[in-house]
Amino acid sequence: MFVNSWTTTINSSKRSLLQSYLLQGSTTGGRDAGNRSAVTGGAQLDGFIHLLGLILKDTGLPDHTIFKKKTVLPGYFRPTKNWDLVAVVNGERLASIEFKSHVGPSFGNNFNNRVEEALGSATDIWTAYREGAFKPSQKPWLGWLKLLEDAPKTKLKQNVGKST
């Protein structure tokens, strides 16, 4: 049911990334280094946020239970964290989802940073949950959607060193 929607959303995201890259600095004169300007515009993943909201709605969640963008939740190791999409029903958080995109040319280190960010965010929110920052409820679902550029470097086999 949502296959065409995913394809449309991916294509829209590509256009948004290109537009962000081309327009960044047009009013201030400042640009991010490399291709970073393509992903710092903030709107390139709005289609995915909208689509995941539709999928949640399709499962039976009412619109008023699905919150998008700038949804602040308490943390444990940091005071708060903005999540891109949060579902809350009867005061209980059902799901929190973060969306990230990653374009080249520096895939290796940036990818490692995003993995560490995902693990850190999950550890932070699970610790906050365990320590009572949220009212007692069923354990919520966490999601992390990462859109990775389809490029030759993203398809290279990684050499993993053997421990001795």
Q: Mean pLDDT for each consecutive 10-residue tract of the chain (164 residues)? A: 66 62 59 50 78 92 90 94 94 91 76 90 95 89 87 77 66
The letter for the amino acid at 8 is T
Contact 83, 96 (CB under 8 A): yes
Domain ranges of the chain: 45-151
Residue range 110-138, pLDDT digits in tens: 888 888 999 999 999 999 999 999 888 88
CA atoms of 102 and 39, how far apart (whole Å): 7
CA-to-CA separations, 48 to 42, 153, 154, in angstroms, rounded: 12, 24, 21
The whole-number pLDDT of residue 118 equals 94
CB atoms within 10 A of CB 63: 8
pLDDT, position 46: 87
pLDDT at position 105: 73
pTM for the full predicted model = 0.72
Pick the CATH number of 45-151 from 3.90.105, 3.40.1350, 3.40.50, 3.30.70: 3.40.1350
19-38, pLDDT tens digit by residue?
665 565 556 665 555 554 44
